[in-house]
């Protein structure tokens, strides 16, 4: 297992997906909330953890979270998550997002940020201390990408004097869940092996805080349109923060990532996993 410093990258691998985006329908809210908050969903096959309920983290301005009755220190509770996915404040039960014209309500938008395979492999073969460092870097990069969306992407749609206008949110209310493995394939689920290491965060965007302090639904189209830029931002932030941990190397132009190595048998593990992608 890794316990010391890391050597420079020895090759390059494709980054693959760094951000994916999809809408969660209203009728899927309870099931998706159960998946996110179940301890097994985190994918800690490599860490050996099996908590009954996975810990999530709230994103949003302190004022917005307080208004919704959310306690940042306590983390994300399944009941609170389901309430927000139904468009209701967990604090007082008030409606914070109206239904659409067709009577339906989108439960949330799952914006998923995934680390490159070489970083996930490095996480899998590291000791607990190094894993924690990599996870902190990953979470910080996700938070930075969320802040970038707030600053740059007009995700709130408003109608004024019969004219539709788009504006940026004061803050996005979201719940983040970090998972460390991919979902099981059919063969793996049948018992032929474990899941692949895949460090990623589900950032479930639940509402937008408008400039006037009121809450509104998020226009998912703008999140889809900005996905490539948001993903690139996350990738650059993660690279910078990993560099601060001693994970070095030059960063080339284009969607590629350095393959990292360390002394001892970890080289073979990282090389084998990266070489397979």
Instruction: Give the pLDDT of residue 166.
Output: 85
SS3 104: coil
Instruction: Give the pLDDT of residue 100.
Output: 67
Instruction: Give the pLDDT of residue 75.
Output: 84
pTM of the entire structure?
0.78
What is the secondary structure of 139-194 as a DSSP string?
HHHHHHHHHHHHHH---EEEEETTEEEEE--SEEEEEEEEEEEPPPPHHIIIII-P
pLDDT along the chain (277 residues), means of 10: 34 51 86 77 46 72 93 86 92 85 80 90 88 93 95 86 83 92 55 73 93 88 90 91 70 43 34 37
Instruction: Give the pLDDT of residue 60.
Output: 93
CA distance 157 to 166: 5
The interaxial angle of helices 128-152 and 117-125, nearest 10 deg, is 150
The burial of 199, by beta-carbon neighbours within 10 Å (0-12 exposed, 13-18 middle, 19 or more buried), is given as: buried
SS3 57: strand
Instruction: Give the pLDDT of residue 143.
Output: 96
Q: Are 137 and 245 in contact (CB under 8 A)?
A: yes
SS3 letters for 189-258? HHHHCCCCEEEEEEEEEEEEECCCCCEECCCHHHHHHCHHHHHHHHHHHHHHHHHHCCCCCCCCCCCEEE
Torsion of CA 38, 44, 48, 52, to 10 degrees: -10
Q: What are phi and psi of 150, to 5 degrees?
A: -60, -40
């Amino acid at each position: 297992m890794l316990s010391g410093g890391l050597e420079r990258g020895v090759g390059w691998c494709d980054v693959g997906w760094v951000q994916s985006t999809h809408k969660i329908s209203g009728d899927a809210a309870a099931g998706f909330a159960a998946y996110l908050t179940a301890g097994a969903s985190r994918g800690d096959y490599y860490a050996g953890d099996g908590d009954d309920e996975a810990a999530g983290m709230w994103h949003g301005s302190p004022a917005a979270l307080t208004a919704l009755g959310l306690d940042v220190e306590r983390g994300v509770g399944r009941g609170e998550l389901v309430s927000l996915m139904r468009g209701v404040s967990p604090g007082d039960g008030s409606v914070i997002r109206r239904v659409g014209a067709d009577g339906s309500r989108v439960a949330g938008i799952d914006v998923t940020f995934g680390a490159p395979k070489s970083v996930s492999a490095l996480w899998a073969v590291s000791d607990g201390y190094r894993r924690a460092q990599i996870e902190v870097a990953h979470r910080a990069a996700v938070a930075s990408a969320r802040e970038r969306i707030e600053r740059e992407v007009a995700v709130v749609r408003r109608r004024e004097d019969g004219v539709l206008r788009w504006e940026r949110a004061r803050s996005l209310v979201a719940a983040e869940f970090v998972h460390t493995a991919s979902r099981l394939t059919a063969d793996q689920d049948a018992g032929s092996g474990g899941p692949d290491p895949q460090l990623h965060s589900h950032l479930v965007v639940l509402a937008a805080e408008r400039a006037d302090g009121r809450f509104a639904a998020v226009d998912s189209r703008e999140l889809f349109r900005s996905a490539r830029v948001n993903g690139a931002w996350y990738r650059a932030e993660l690279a910078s923060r990993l560099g601060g941990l001693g994970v070095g190397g030059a960063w080339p132009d284009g969607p590629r990532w350095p393959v990292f190595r360390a002394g001892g048998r970890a080289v073979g593990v990282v090389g084998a996993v990266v070489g397979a992608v």
